[in-house]
Amino acid sequence: MAGGARTALEAITGRPLSFLRSSWPWRSLAYLLSGALFGLFALVLIDVMVIFSVPAAVALGVLIVMCGGLVIGRFERWRLRLVDAAPVPDPHGRPREPGARAWFLARFAEQTTWREFGYALAALLALWWIDLGVLALSCWLPLTLISGPFQPSLSLPLGLLATVAGFVILPVTAYPITAWAGARAAVARAILSPRDAELIEVVRSRARLVDAFELERRRIERDLHDGAQQRLVALTLTLGMARLDLEPGSPAAGRVAEAHEQALLALAELRELIRGVHPKVLTDRGLPDAAVDVAGRSPVPVEVDIELSGRLPAPVEAAAYFVISEALANVARHSRAGHCRIRGRLVGERFLMEIRDDGRGGADPAGGTGLAGLADRVAVVDGRMTLSSPEGGPTVVRVEIPCG
């Protein structure tokens, strides 16, 4: 490719010899010629209009656009790779439920689908013949000159001279062909795969990573609870029974007693670790009880006021618990607060939560306190977090998460 260009338009700006030796002119030619496939459908519509009637042609055209719009959009995104090396993500989302009905409902509810219908209509009515027109106008003069010896109005010497001139100017046709192909591709990308679609794909990818992380956290919690914790409990019981069998005050009894205390401490630390990985109370009893649990372990007195009519979706519960846990950790480490209050309500289909402390304020997301991570964690579930923390306090963290 010419000078490492990623699009046909970039390739034109490179050195002429480098551009002409590259594959960009041929790729652009293939891109425009493949657009002639849309002309076949247009010719069919014209034949229907001539043989039957205009309403019949219009009805067939609407049917082609509605039924073939998705296919045309996929085909266009595929052939964009001829003149645009940048990836073209599929902007369509996955249906929430299996089945054809759910698929159709999801597709027709997307703006992308209607963009594809509009693009299919434009391709059938105009774009294909513009592609062929650009090719014809670009190649008409050099091809006419090249055919000079076969022109009856020209003598053989003039015909040969015209042929030479045609071959000399033939490379120039690569520029208008590549320029139109690049512009055409830029328009197609803007319609079929806008930049916000790439952002949506990034958000989806981040959400998938968070879901995978949550599953891994739960697996680790389950393994620790059912494996290491049970073995430590058995070890603690065994050491406790051994202490009863040893003579009090003996060296062996002292060492067993010390080992027993260490095992109890290790068991307590493991339980705290399990609770931090994924609290069982959150899975079993929901966010309000989990918030009370984490508040009870905070060195700062915390008042919890979360009222819900039912369980929140699991991703929302996990995100809200993460915010509560990290926010209370920040309060304990940095705020010098004497009191903290957590309030949560479900308003419509949105969960609103506020965490307020009476500390010194001045919290800054750029200060390495984990507030930026909290905002990212909330953004994964399409929520948003706002922070108010003037100097002198109070500090208020507000979270809004959709639950629909």
Helix (H) or strand (E) holding 391: none
Backbone angles phi, psi at 146, to 5 degrees: -65, -30
Average pLDDT over residues 15-29: 83
Backbone angles phi, psi at 384, to 5 degrees: -145, 150
294 or 257, higher pLDDT: 294
Pick from 201, 193, 8: nearest CA to 93 = 201
Pick from 11, 3, 1, 7: nearest CA to 175 = 11
Residue 385's DSSP bridge partners are 399
Q: What is the pTM of this model?
A: 0.45
Residue 145: per-residue pLDDT: 75
pLDDT for residue 30 is more than 70:
yes
> How far is it, in rounded angstroms, from Cα 24 to Cα 6?
10
Pick from 29, 1, 12: nearest CA to 86 = 1
**Token reading at 152:** 């009856």
Backbone angles phi, psi at 299, to 5 degrees: -70, -15
Residue 236: per-residue pLDDT: 76
pLDDT band at residue 273, thresholds of 50, 70 and 90? low
pLDDT for residue 278 is more than 70:
no
Residue 311: per-residue pLDDT: 85
pLDDT for residue 200 is more than 60:
no
Residue 284: per-residue pLDDT: 78
Average pLDDT, the chain: 75
